[in-house]
C-alpha cells in the first residue's frame, strides 16, 4: 500500500495554481505579520496587536482542522462529525505539558501537582501525567493520542462497514461522550475549567509578543507542511483509490482494493493533523477545556469545508478563515445573531454553492475558457 503514495505528487502541486497561491499567501503572512507586530510602532495603523497575532494564529489552527476534515470527506467520502475530539486530544496533551511547566509558580505553590489537583485534594500525580513535563514526550502524545483513538474507532467502524450518515452519527456520539467524560473532576483533566494560567513553553514566556510571533510562524509552517502532505496523498495513486472509494465504494472493493485499510489509514492521518492543530491552538489561546469537544465544533468544521469548497484542500482552509473571521465580527457586534447567521450560511451554501467558493471560481474560469 505504501507504494501507492509515490508518483508525480510534486508535479501535481506544481500544476495546482490555487494551492501554489495559497502557499505564497501563507509565506507572506508568516513574514509580514511578525514585521507588522515587532517592527511597526504601535501608533501606526499598520501595527498588528498581540490580540491580532493570537487571532491569526487561531485561524491558522482552524485551517489545519478544516484541512483534516476535507482530506477524508472531500476525497474519501468519510463525513466525520467528531473531528473536534482529535483536535481536543492534541490540545489536552499540550495543555498537560504546559501545566507541568508551571511548577511552584501556581496559586498553591505545589512543585508537582497542578493547581486544580491541589484544589480537588489529589494526593499524587495520576500515572497518565508521568513524563509530560518533557516536551518530547508531550509531542509524542500530541500525535499518539488522536492516532490511537482514530485507529481503534476506525478499525471497528470500517470493519463493520459503517458508512454514510450512520458513521457521521457515531463520530458525533464519540466526541459527545468524550466531552461528558472530560467534564468530570475525577478524570484528572481539570473538569469544567480545564487547563489555563500557562506560564511558558520551553522556558519562553507565553505572554511575550516574541513568543506569540514564533508560535504563529510555527503554526503557518505546520499548516504548509500539512497541506503539502495532503496534496501529495491526493495526487498519488492512493489518492485515486480514495476518490474511487468516495464515488463507488462497493465497486472499488469488488475489483480487489482493501477499502477498509485505505479508509483507516487516511482517517488516522487526518486525526493526527487535527491533533497537531489542537496542540498549536492551546499555547496561543491560553486555555483548553471540555467545551472544545462540543459536537457543534465538529459541525462548524464541516461548514468551513463546505463554504470553501469540498475536495479542494486550500478551499477548506479559506472557508475556515472566512467563517471564523465572520464569527469574530458578528459575536462582537451582534452576539445574538451569530448562530442564525451560521445556519443561514450553511443552507445558502447547500442550495446555491454546492461546490463552495473555490468551486464557483473554477466554474467561472471554465466558462471564460469556453468563451475564449
Residue 80 CA: distances (Å) to CA of 19, 196, 232, 233: 24, 29, 22, 19
Q: What is the rounded average pLDDT for all residues in the chain?
A: 92
Question: In the chain, how many domains are there?
Answer: 1
pLDDT bin (cut points 50, 70, 90) of residue 2 is very low
| pLDDT, tens digit, 9 for 90 and up, residues 191-215 | 999 999 999 999 999 999 999 999 9
- The percent of residues in the chain predicted with pLDDT above 90, rounded, is 84
> If you write DSSP's letter for every residue of 21-87 in order, what string do you get?
HHHHHHHHHHHHHHHHHHTS-TTSTTPPPHHHHHHHHHHHHHHHHHHHHHHHHHHH----S-HHHHH
Please report the pLDDT score of residue 80 as a whole number. Answer: 96
Please report the pLDDT score of residue 14 as a whole number. Answer: 56
pLDDT bin (cut points 50, 70, 90) of residue 276 is very high
Please report the pLDDT score of residue 235 as a whole number. Answer: 94
| pLDDT, tens digit, 9 for 90 and up, residues 298-328 | 999 999 999 999 999 999 999 999 999 999 9
Please report the pLDDT score of residue 371 as a whole number. Answer: 63
Please report the pLDDT score of residue 4 as a whole number. Answer: 45
| pLDDT, tens digit, 9 for 90 and up, residues 90-140 | 999 999 999 999 999 999 999 999 999 999 999 999 999 999 999 999 999
Please report the pLDDT score of residue 306 as a whole number. Answer: 95
* Residue-number span of the structural domain to which 280 is assigned: 2-371
Res 1 pLDDT > 50: no
Residue 210 CA: distances (Å) to CA of 204, 205, 217, 334: 9, 9, 11, 33
Whether the predicted model's global pTM rises above the 0.75 cut: yes
CA angle 294, 297, 298 (to 5 degrees): 100
d(Cα 177, Cα 195) in Å, to the nearest integer?
A: 19
Neighbours of 195 (CB within 10 A): 24
pLDDT bin (cut points 50, 70, 90) of residue 367 is low
Res 22 pLDDT > 80: yes
| pLDDT, tens digit, 9 for 90 and up, residues 152-181 | 999 999 999 999 999 999 999 999 999 999
d(Cα 96, Cα 195) in Å, to the nearest integer?
A: 8
Res 13 pLDDT > 80: no
Please report the pLDDT score of residue 83 as a whole number. Answer: 97
Closest-CA residue to 276 (of 60, 29, 5, 72): 60
Please report the pLDDT score of residue 337 as a whole number. Answer: 86
Determine the 3-state secondary structure of 204 from DSSP. strand
Please report the pLDDT score of residue 100 as a whole number. Answer: 96
| pLDDT, tens digit, 9 for 90 and up, residues 230-270 | 999 999 999 999 999 999 999 999 999 999 999 999 999 99
Amino acid at each position: 500500500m505504501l507504494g501507492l503514495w509515490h508518483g508525480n505528487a510534486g508535479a501535481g502541486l506544481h500544476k495546482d495554481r490555487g494551492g501554489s497561491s495559497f502557499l505564497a499567501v501563507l509565506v507572506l503572512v508568516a513574514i509580514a505579520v511578525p514585521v507588522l507586530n515587532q517592527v511597526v510602532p504601535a501608533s501606526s495603523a499598520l501595527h498588528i496587536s498581540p490580540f491580532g497575532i493570537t487571532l491569526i494564529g487561531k485561524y491558522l489552527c482552524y485551517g489545519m482542522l478544516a484541512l483534516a476534515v476535507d482530506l477524508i470527506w472531500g476525497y474519501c467520502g468519510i463525513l466525520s462529525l467528531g473531528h473536534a475530539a482529535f483536535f481536543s486530544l492534541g490540545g489536552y496533551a499540550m495543555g498537560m505539558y504546559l501545566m507541568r511547566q508551571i511548577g511552584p509558580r501556581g496559586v498553591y505553590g505545589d512543585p508537582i501537582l497542578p493547581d486544580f489537583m491541589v484544589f480537588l485534594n489529589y494526593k499524587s500525580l495520576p500515572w497518565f501525567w508521568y513524563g509530560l513535563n518533557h516536551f518530547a514526550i508531550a509531542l509524542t502524545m500530541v500525535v499518539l493520542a488522536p492516532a490511537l483513538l482514530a485507529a481503534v474507532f476506525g478499525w471497528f467502524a470500517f470493519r463493520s462497514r459503517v458508512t454514510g450518515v450512520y458513521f457521521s452519527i457515531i463520530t458525533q456520539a464519540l466526541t459527545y461522550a468524550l466531552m461528558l467524560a472530560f467534564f468530570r473532576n475525577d478524570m484528572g483533566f481539570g473538569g469544567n475549567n480545564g487547563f489555563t494560567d500557562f506560564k511558558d513553553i520551553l522556558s519562553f514566556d507565553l505572554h511575550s509578543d516574541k513568543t506569540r510571533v514564533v508560535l504563529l510562524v510555527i503554526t503557518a509552517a505546520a499548516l504548509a507542511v500539512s497541506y503539502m502532505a495532503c496534496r501529495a496523498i491526493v495526487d498519488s495513486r492512493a489518492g485515486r483509490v480514495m476518490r474511487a472509494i468516495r464515488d463507488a465504494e462497493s465497486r472499488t472493493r469488488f475489483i480487489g482494493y482493501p477499502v477498509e485499510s485505505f479508509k483507516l489509514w487516511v482517517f488516522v492521518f487526518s486525526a493526527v493533523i487535527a491533533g497537531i492543530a489542537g496542540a498549536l491552538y492551546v499555547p496561543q489561546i491560553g486555555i483548553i477545556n471540555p467545551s472544545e469537544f462540543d459536537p457543534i465544533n465538529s459541525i462548524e468544521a464541516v461548514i468551513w469545508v463546505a463554504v470553501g469548497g469540498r475536495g479542494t484542500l486550500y478551499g477548506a482552509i479559506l472557508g475556515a478563515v472566512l467563517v471564523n473571521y465572520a464569527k469574530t465580527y458578528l459575536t462582537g457586534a451582534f452576539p445574538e445573531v451569530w448562530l442564525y447567521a451560521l445556519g443561514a450560511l450553511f443552507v445558502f451554501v447547500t442550495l446555491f454553492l454546492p461546490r463552495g467558493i473555490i468551486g464557483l471560481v473554477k466554474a467561472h474560469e471554465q466558462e471564460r475558457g469556453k468563451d475564449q
